[in-house]
Structure 1
Amino acid sequence: MQNPIPLEEGRALFGRNTEIYQEGRPDYPERVYDLLKKHCGSENHFQAFEIGPGTAQATEKLLHMGYQVTAIEPDPNLAMKLNKRLEGYPQNSFTLVHSTFEDAKLPTSYFDLGIAATSFHWVDPAKGLEKVFQLLRSGGWFAMWWTVFGDPSNMDAFMQKTNHLFAPLSTSPSHKAGYRHPYPLQKDERINDLKKSGFTEILSEEIRWASQMDVRRTIQLVSTFSPVARLNETERATFLCEIERIINNDFGGTVKRNFVTAIYLARKPE
């Protein structure tokens, strides 16, 4: 395994440039929220917690669905960005807890829904799921999902052309088994983790989608990848210049990217 990024260090990488992170990460497919509404939503279910909300992509969706959201964010820069982005919402609809999820002080058997959007690989899975289970009321739901930026079952031409650039970099917990076997797509393992923690009614789905991306959008997205964000300033600039060169010279300035969003939903028994 190539130089894995420790959890504590990785959690601090994404707040280094919150503007790039907010602009670089594409929205999740609407199918994610359709599944939440179908299986987890109800006019009687209002309390939700979110693990690692980042710049509030999923948080805003929960607020629009009518949930009161408690967001647990360990990075101080992302926490400030989150507060600024959500300052227009009613004061009682959003609470920010500045902490790691493992250390956060939260009421047990209280929440109707918990979510982790492209964040749970930065949490110790056994301890994290144990805590999630404790926080949910009986009958409450947990949903964790990730977007994998490069579908290993349908590799786009850009991914094939640039894999050699990413190979020497550090390894995120989401790709510790290699880019062909990302953590979110290890379906049996993720389902077994949920079962071991006591969850039932487990559902999973892989949502495949594509995006046409110009140089700017691609560079912004690549900049948010933890192995790239971890590089020093000179190394990162050199790396991104090579990405830009490939996009312009080999793809005429635009690339088609194949992504897959994997979601898992599970319920705490009544």
Structure 2
Amino acid sequence: MSGQRIDREEGRKLFGLDPAAYDAARPGHAARVYEILVERCRLVPGARVLEVGPGTGQASRELVRLGADPLVALEPNRALAAYVRESLGDQVDLRMSTLEDAVLPPAHFDLAVAASSFHWVEEELGLAKLFDAVRSGGRVALWWTLFGEGDKPDAFISATSPLLDNLHASPTQGAEGRPAHALDAEARLAALGAAGFDDATHETVRWNASWDTRGIRALYGTFSPIARLDDPRKTEILDGVANIAERDFGGRVERTLVTSLYTARRPK
């Protein structure tokens, strides 16, 4: 990756290029995340939940299944918003807005969540908005899933990284000299505290997933540094990924995924 970062406005547009392909390629979220939402964040039937950046609704569908009612989702991308509306219908109150621009009722929500989306939000302003939106004693939960162990690249990352040289970096890469954004617990917990939250916690969850050659090619196509490229360059990289998967990994790529989850409470 190069030192250049993908602009926030550009990034918010990339994932709506092909919502169905994105939804099919991504592995969803670790089961442990939802256990924590129920056990620690009181996600119960009838909980008023705010979701920031639902994307294709992978987390949204599970939030609804676990009882979020209402689920208010903020999605600025028109194509993604339409996709979520189609899959969840009136089970979600979908509002086309960024968190920064959203008008939200004060002290209203029991829980606010962001699943692999909060790096596209201006952190200080976004956390201030969430603090105002959740009720006294309400919770926030922010999580990201990393494809690998952060600073410990697995065999597939090592094999494919030369293909990704000189691409713009996602904000998930983290600040210069710091861990990946999702794994920078010192910075994320400090930001939650500065916004006024207390009882802030960080938990990492390791889980496994596997893809065949077609699946891993599709997965890489959803990564923002690749999704933003013109078609010839994108195809060149994705074909390279597929060739490595087939030739060096026997057509089946096993990966360890790391979900980094932060929760906090608005003081009573």
TM-score, normalised to structure 1, is 0.94
1:71 aligns with 2:69: no
1:18 alignment partner AA: P
Displacement of 1:42? 5.6
Give yes or no for contact 2:55–2:75 (8 Å, CA) kept in 1.
Answer: yes
Contact 1:223 1:229 in 2 (8 A): yes
Secondary structure at the residue paired with 1:66? coil
Alignment of 1:1-270 (within 5 A): 2-41=3-42, 43=44, 46-67=47-68, 68-87=70-89, 91=90, 93-152=91-150, 154-177=152-175, 181-270=179-268
Q: How far 1:177 sits from its partner (Å)?
A: 3.9
Query: Which consecutive aligned stretches of 4+ in structure 1 deviate over 6 angstroms post-superposition?
Result: none
Distance, in Å, in 1 between the alignment partners of 2:196 and 2:43 is 23
Q: 1:263 deviation in Å?
A: 0.3
1:178 CA drift (Å) = 7.3
**Counterparts of 1:256 and 1:115, CA distance in 2:** 29
Whole-angstrom CA distance in 1 between matches of 2:240 and 2:104 = 45
Q: 1:202 to 1:131 in 2, by over 3 A?
A: same
Q: Does the CA contact (< 8 Å) of 2:198 and 2:267 recur in 1?
A: yes
Question: Counterpart of 2:185 in structure 1: which amino acid?
Answer: K
**Comparing 158-167 and 54-63, the one that deviates more:** 158-167
Structure 1 residue 18 displacement after superposition: 0.7
Q: 1:155 touches 1:258 (CA, 8 Å); kept in 2?
A: no
Change (3 A) 1:44 1:252: closer
- Deviation sequence 1:77-106 (CA, Å, 0-9, x none): 00010001112xxx3x42000011111121
Q: Is the 8 A contact 1:208 1:258 kept in 2?
A: yes
1:3 and 1:154 map into 2 onto residues whose CA distance is 22
Deviation at 1:107, TM superposition (A): 0.8
Distance 2:212 2:41 in 1: 36
Number of paired residues? 266
- Deviation for aligned residue 1:209: 1.5
Post-superposition shift, 1:156? 1.8
What one-letter code is carried by the residue in structure 1 that aligns with 2:36?
L
3-state SS of 1:151 partner? coil
SS in 1 for 2:136: strand
2:45–2:66 contact (8 Å) kept in structure 1: no
Structure 1 residues 164 and 180: alpha-carbon distance in aligned structure 2, compared to 1, 3 A threshold? farther
- Distance change (3 Å), C-alpha of 1:226 and 1:235: same
C-alpha contact 1:47 1:69 (8 A) present in aligned 2: yes
Unaligned runs of 5+ in 2: none
Contact 1:49 1:115 in 2 (8 A): yes
Aligned residue identity for 1:83: R
DSSP 3-state at the match of 2:14: coil
| Contact 1:152–1:179 under 8 Å retained in 2 | no
Q: Aligned pair in 2 of structure 1 residues 139, 230: CA closer, same or farther (>3 Å)? A: same
SS in 1 for 2:142: strand
User: Is the Cα–Cα contact under 8 Å of residues 99 and 126 in structure 2 kept in the other structure?
Assistant: yes
TM-score, structure 2 as length reference: 0.95
Q: Which amino acid aligns with 2:234?
A: R
Q: Deviations over 1:40-97 (max 9, x none)?
A: 126586111000001111111111111120000000000010001112xxx3x42000
Q: Does the CA contact (< 8 Å) of 2:53 and 2:74 recur in 1?
A: yes
Is the 2:204–2:260 Cα contact (8 Å) retained in structure 1? yes
